[in-house]
A = this chain, B = another copy of it.
Amino acid sequence: MIIVTNQGITGEQWENLCKKLDDWGFQIHVIQGVEKKVIGAVGDKRRVDFHFLENIPGVEKVIPILSPYKLAAKEIKPEGTVVEVGDLKIGGGYFGIIAGPCAVESESQLFETADGLKKAGAKGLRGGAFKPRTSPYSFQGLEEEGLKILSRARERSGLPIVTELMNLTELELVAEYADIIQIGTRNMQNFGLLRAVGRQSKPVLLKRGLAATVEEWLMAAEYIMAEGNTQVILCERGIRTFETATRNTLDLSAIPLIKSMSHLPVVVDPSHGTGKRKLVLPMAKAAVVAGADGLLIEVHPDPANAWSDGEQSLDLPQFQDLITQVAKLAAFEGKII
């Protein structure tokens, strides 16, 4: 940790600062610069909140040297984490494709989708039973009934289920039906929810927050892992920027960046990431070669009549085309699909 002091730090402030660092077990190295004095404080204080030190009079800035996450760090597991549920494998060379509608609307809608996805070659089924919606007046999901339909679709198709958990109070219910529990964008820093899914054993798909840095995202994963659950899949789904021509700005550079920082697998959701059907295929392909470990694709048997997000959903023939192209590309890239 590097501590930059103010030009006008007093002798008393300096002594106080050094004493504190010493009390906390840091070794102190002083560098007298041209205008300012800088301290190199040595000690693994990863678990200490370094901003804390910026309160001390005479301190201008504190610069951490070590990254703040530990369990999510690449060094822990350089070969990479593989999340495996039935035939679905994500990470460590395995590329997993999960698809399905934004929201579960009815048994017939979901069965038709699941049948089509299975036939096309998808390895997981996504579908929302609890839906986070900007307006309280929009459709909020079929809730438990939706979970039951998902469960019957799994029986029928053999596809494991990915579905979103929105509230702590619904954890048991969702965990009963889901194979992978999704934490949505708006809940990426809902720390109580993160801890709770960390204390159960189902894998967690953690979507990146709208305005979350890669570091904050890894820290959210760290919350889950710190409770014991290491089966975390990160999902890039676009960040919010000034550009309005796409729903979000899909940050594909986050994939190789995370691969250099963490052992956790990363999947990409080009449907939410772009918000436009015509951009889903090119961004799905780009995700493959950028190093992603899988995809999350919105598919609806009849997007024109979807209850939500239809403008970014593929229909079944479009998905069949996507999976064909993606599979060829993934094979070309040496991934196992």
- Number of A interface residues at 8 Å Cβ cutoff, please give it: 103
CA distance A239 to B279 in the complex (A): 19
Decide yes or no whether A324 CB sits under 8 A from chain B: no
Decide yes or no whether A246 CB sits under 8 A from chain B: yes
Tell me the A283-324 residues at the B interface (CB within 8 Å): 283, 285-291, 303-311, 313
CA distance A219 to B186 in the complex (A): 14
With a CB–CB cut-off of 8 A, which chain B residues contact A40? 29, 31, 33, 38, 40
Decide yes or no whether A213 CB sits under 8 A from chain B: yes
Tell me the A10-39 residues at the B interface (CB within 8 Å): 29, 31-36, 38
User: A189 contacts which of B33, B132, B214, B219 (Cβ < 8 Å)?
Assistant: B132
The stretch that binds B, out of A76-84, A110-118, A174-182, A250-258, is A250-258
The stretch that binds B, out of A61-69, A87-95, A145-153, A155-163, is A61-69
With a CB–CB cut-off of 8 A, which chain B residues contact A192? 166-167, 169
Inter-subunit contact B278/A211 (CB<8 Å): no
With a CB–CB cut-off of 8 A, which chain B residues contact A209? 211
Number of this chain's copies in the assembly equals 4
With a CB–CB cut-off of 8 A, which chain B residues contact A244? 213, 244
Q: Encode A247-273 as 1/0 by CB contact (under 8 A) with B.
A: 001111101110010000000000001
Inter-subunit contact B42/A245 (CB<8 Å): no
Nearest-neighbour CB distance to chain B for A38, whole angstroms, equals: 6
* Nearest neighbor of A278 in chain B, beta-carbon distance: B260
Nearest-neighbour CB distance to chain B for A213, whole angstroms, equals: 6
Nearest-neighbour CB distance to chain B for A60, whole angstroms, equals: 9
CA distance A63 to B303 in the complex (A): 19
CA distance A278 to B54 in the complex (A): 13
Decide yes or no whether A2 CB sits under 8 A from chain B: yes
Inter-subunit contact A33/B65 (CB<8 Å): yes
> For A135, A253, A285, which residue has the most chain B Cβ atoms within 10 angstroms?
A253
Inter-subunit contact A226/B66 (CB<8 Å): no
With A35-B66, A308-B49, A311-B54 as contacts: A253 and B42 at CB distance below 8 Å: no
Decide yes or no whether A329 CB sits under 8 A from chain B: yes
Decide yes or no whether A51 CB sits under 8 A from chain B: yes
Inter-subunit contact B68/A135 (CB<8 Å): yes
> For A216, A223, A290, which residue has the most chain B Cβ atoms within 10 angstroms?
A290
Inter-subunit contact B239/A253 (CB<8 Å): no
Question: 6 tightest A-B contacts by CB?
Answer: A55-B310, A211-B211, A31-B40, A167-B192, A54-B311, A286-B286
Pick 9 A–B contacts, CB within 8 A, sort by A: A49-B133, A49-B138, A49-B308, A136-B223, A190-B190, A211-B242, A213-B242, A213-B243, A241-B242
